[in-house]
Structure 1
Amino acid sequence: MGSPETATIESADGAERPVDRRMLIDGGLVAAARSFPSLNPATGEVLGYAPDATIYDAERAVAAARRAFDETDWSTNVDLRIRCLEQLHSALVEHRDELGQLTTDEVGATPALLAGAQYDQPVEIVRFYADLLKTVDLTEDLGNIEIRGGLHHRWVEKEAAGVVAAIIAYNYPNQLALAKLAPALAAGCTVILKAAPDTPLVTLALGELIANHTDIPAGVVNVLSGADPEVGAVLTTNADVDAVTFTGSTPTGRRIMAAASDTLKRVFLELGGKSAAIVLDDADFKTAATFSAFSMVTHAGQGCALTSRLLVPRKHHDEIVELIKTNFSFVRYGDPNDPKTYMGPLISEKQRDKVDGMVQRAVAAGATLVTGGEKKGPGYFYTPTLLTNVDPDSEIAQEEVFGPVLAVIAYEDDDDAVRIANNSIYGLSGAIFGGQDRALAMARRIRTGTFSINGGNYFSPDAPFGGYKQSGIGREMGVAGLEEFQERKTFAVPVAGDDK
């Protein structure tokens, strides 16, 4: 792909540092007045420096996106949008090795994750929307209706929602960026994409790819990086932004929703989760334990949809706990470049301290630490952690940990299991193991946006993803993901008298 010419700018500590990637604003790759470091979470060492965007940079990006939407044919030229999405898909495939390595170095993604949700699957989201745009019906005929003696023909046209501010989290930066960017572009929107402060280089590299390898017009896509929360505030409050799509924590999502309310923006939120996996008494316990253990430590537990609560029949509690403990002992963690590594690091020392603090408080509150609960280095590793005797109302059972920590909760019967699973402000995902009919009936009683039955995998570009309750508003991916970025306009014309 080739990085732009290196620029030297002042970093947050006052020293002059080289910028390894640049922001994309109004078609140009630009630096900023200051920079900030991005760390390799597997070593704790500085990986590179990213531009630290200012309020002025954010305002320039918004103005560029507004002009591109209002003054070009991007929002109406479907053929151009298809071509550009196909170009972006090809570029992502062609530069997979480079961007994959950067994702490993900055995010801590293992080879297996790169082949899945850290890279290869997100790339296919772009292809999905390019193909969908070739077949999706952007109009809906409502037919004729007689009103006050006159006949009127009505139809609905789907138009682009406008300028979109897309703000993403650090854990799956390629997935989160492309799940917002691809449908927004397919719908005809223009976008300001803000990288997560912990993983800016990966997202900036996406911006460089767009600038260097696609025909996407200037201003249609703008990519910012920065550590200043005021930059995000510009995106959520600026009157020229029509919609905000955010992935991150529920507390931050609440603040974004409140900030956007002053200008009544469309807001899509993909927030936290505290999903439950239920093991029924007729389940295959070994299968359930394998799924629950290894999914919980995927990407060191840094996934919003992971099932971090395991609900087990009380009479089989000890048997299932022992199976989980054994599976955790098989988890190989360490260098994410090693193909034999299953679990990489947490993103930062701050995140590891947060996880460890929650585990320590859980034990102090009466939970039993069966295994794990240890910091390992160099880098920000935390051993797979299993807690039992967990109170369903306790912090560890109610709050998102975002680390490799599984809380086991015993239940009495099916109704009790459903009650515990629904005892959460969140409603993102869930899983259940047992006889198919019984498991499906229980799954339908649990208020979440996605659900796995006996290990079924729902995650793909054509499947809508999102949550109930405080896990979010709206859906990403699938046809539903396109519709989030569309407005509907209803038309009517009188029908000539001889056509009645």
Structure 2
Amino acid sequence: MSNFVDGKLTQAEQSDRHPLVDPVTGEEYGTAPASSAAAVDAAMRSAANAFERWRATTPAERQALLLRVADALQSRLPDLVRAELRQTGSRGAANEIPLAGDQLRFFAGAARALQGLAAGEYATGHTSYVRREPLGVCAQLAPWNYPMMMAALKSAPALAAGNTVVLKPAESTPATALLFAEIAAEILPPGVLNVVCGGAETGRMMVEHPIPAAVSLTGSIATGVDVATTAAASLKRVQLELGGKTPVVVFADADLDATVQGILTGALSNAGQDCTAASRVLVAEELHDELLAALEAGVAAVRTGGPDDESALYGPLNNADQLARVSGFVETLPDHARVVTGGHRVGTAGYFFAPTIIADVREDDRVSTEEIFGPVITVQRFRTEKEAVRLANSVVHGLASSVWTTDHARALRVSAELDFGCVWVNTHLMFPTEMPHGGFKHSGYGKDLSVYGLEEYTRIKHVMHRFA
């Protein structure tokens, strides 16, 4: 595979190539460039040149083009799905591809309806108004769990606001981002959307490059700290959506069947490779045994398998390192914790891991405090509402949470007290494009999705005219 720069595929200067491995089989099927500083520079210069023309387009003109891109993606959906399945092995990831079109359509329209202060005379003899302008070139670093959907989630608001983009997909999953750029290039001017392949070093070169005005990352906390630190040297604007350790707070009056279904779907979809996965269950003492038994029974009916296995709920972990990481959490459990079910690799080919439940965990256990990013559910007891909130908020993460109760007043109280960017009540893993997504604390800052996500890619300028 090659980079996509200035409206065409380009052979990137490189010092190495990353292997592309099918996670279903564990076999290599291709390579992608580990792009050099020269390749990054070429993409940045292309985006900078295109910005001068793209920023001058009207919101209506950008809307018309982005709507055409969304339609083109829909017409190429089978090609995109095939590419996504090859690089992720996951129907869950492939099923997210239609969201890319929805995000393009939303932001295409939202750019025409930005709001602000009314123009007026806020000082005698002077009229003031506020301009909302694009930032410039945006460097965007996307993860491997939902490659195509994340490429659109990153680029759509930036493009709609009048910016140009240099996007780096994860080194293991560049295929759909490159296909997205190829499809978009039939409609967008050259250089407006560029894709550069590579790993952490390529990403760091993008952040260090003098051209980008902003950097957006979805990734781990460690990567977020590195990006923020590097970007600070040149005072780039930074938007970070980092890891999560999502508490699922289940009170004794919760609807048991609905709760179990919500946890299983929220925890195991896409093999748990979601930063908002329902992975950390906190349950009232009086419901603990019943919920644990119901979860065990539910997991017994769950299978993992390749995309051709219609009976499988989820597919493989994305890569060998992730399989080793998830396995390591189970292998290093403290003596007081116990594996109720699962806890092992499935098969010898590919990176499949059994659906897993771990009970009797404590708040300072590694499985309780660190993001696992696999099909693993931990279960922990609480005695009071106050303790439930304390346990939920005890981690450094602050991305998402859910509350399960039939007591409306309790739901309102707990939602206000949870220190997370999203609180779901009696549901989990729902992401309408109209609502913001982003975390607090070590889960980062800034928002994806919604009008708030669009505003991340604009700057505000005050203009004052003296007329007296």
Q: TM-score normalised to the size of structure 2?
A: 0.96
* 1:30 correspondence with 2:2: no
1:359-392 superposed Cα distances (whole Å, 9 cap, x missing partner):
1112x34211100011012210000111111011
Cα drift, residue 271 of structure 1: 0.3
Aligned equivalents of 1:365, 1:57: Cα separation in 2: 50
Please provide the CA RMSD for this pair: 1.6
User: Structure 2: where are the runs of 5+ without partners?
Assistant: none
1:97-130 superposed Cα distances (whole Å, 9 cap, x missing partner):
11011111211221x5533xx2112221001111
Q: Which residue of 1 aligns with 2:261?
A: 290
3-state SS of the aligned residue for 2:35? Answer: coil
**Deviation above 4 Å: which 4+ runs of structure 1?**
none
Q: Which residue of 1 aligns with 2:82?
A: 101
Cα drift, residue 456 of structure 1: 6.0
- AA in 1 matched with 2:467: V
Cα drift, residue 460 of structure 1: 1.4
* 1:308 correspondence with 2:282: no
Q: 1:143 aligns with which of 120, 124, 147?
A: 120
Cα drift, residue 396 of structure 1: 0.6
**Residues 160, 485 of structure 1: 8 Å contact kept:** yes
Q: Percent identity?
A: 34
The residue correspondences of 1:90-169 to structure 2 (distance < 5 A) are 90-110=71-91, 113-115=93-95, 118-134=96-112, 136-137=113-114, 140-146=117-123, 150-169=124-143
Q: 1:439 aligns with which of 411, 417, 423?
A: 411
Cα drift, residue 52 of structure 1: 2.9
> Which of these two proteins has the greater Rg computed from alpha carbons?
1
Q: Which residue of 2 aligns with 1:337?
A: 308
Q: Which residue of 2 aligns with 1:397?
A: 368
3-state SS of the aligned residue for 1:254? Answer: helix
Cα drift, residue 95 of structure 1: 0.3
Aligned equivalents of 2:56, 2:246: Cα separation in 1: 38
3-state SS of the aligned residue for 1:72? Answer: helix
Cα drift, residue 289 of structure 1: 1.6
- AA in 1 matched with 2:221: T
Compare 88-97 and 278-287 and name the one that shifted more: 278-287
1:408-448 superposed Cα distances (whole Å, 9 cap, x missing partner):
11001100000000001001101111123312221211011
Cα drift, residue 474 of structure 1: 0.3
- AA in 2 matched with 1:143: G
Q: Which residue of 2 aligns with 1:260?
A: 231
Aligned equivalents of 1:189, 1:392: Cα separation in 2: 44
**Residues 7, 182 of structure 2: 8 Å contact kept:** no
Aligned equivalents of 1:317, 1:129: Cα separation in 2: 43
Q: Which residue of 2 aligns with 1:79?
A: 60
**Structure 1's 481 and 53: CA in aligned 2 closer, same or farther, altered over 3 A?**
same
* 1:241 correspondence with 2:212: yes
**Residues 93, 145 of structure 2: 8 Å contact kept:** no
Cα drift, residue 485 of structure 1: 0.1
Q: Which residue of 2 aligns with 1:14?
A: none
Aligned residue pairs, count: 464
Compare 451-460 and 71-80 and name the one that shifted more: 71-80
**Residues 41, 345 of structure 1: 8 Å contact kept:** yes
- AA in 1 matched with 2:53: T
Aligned equivalents of 1:84, 1:145: Cα separation in 2: 38
The residue correspondences of 1:284-433 to structure 2 (distance < 5 A) are 284-362=255-333, 364-377=334-347, 378-433=349-404
**Residues 426, 468 of structure 1: 8 Å contact kept:** yes
- AA in 2 matched with 1:158: R
Cα drift, residue 235 of structure 1: 1.0
**Residues 307, 429 of structure 1: 8 Å contact kept:** no
Q: Which residue of 2 aligns with 1:48?
A: 30
Aligned equivalents of 1:308, 1:180: Cα separation in 2: 25
Compare 31-40 and 436-445 and name the one that shifted more: 31-40
- AA in 2 matched with 1:455: T
Cα drift, residue 73 of structure 1: 4.4
- AA in 2 matched with 1:167: L
Q: 2:441 aligns with which of 452, 455, 469?
A: 469
Q: 1:171 aligns with which of 142, 145, 154?
A: 145
Q: TM-score normalised to the size of structure 1?
A: 0.90
Cα drift, residue 167 of structure 1: 0.3
The residue correspondences of 1:210-249 to structure 2 (distance < 5 A) are 210-211=184-185, 213-214=186-187, 216-227=188-199, 229-249=200-220
**Structure 1's 254 and 460: CA in aligned 2 closer, same or farther, altered over 3 A?**
same
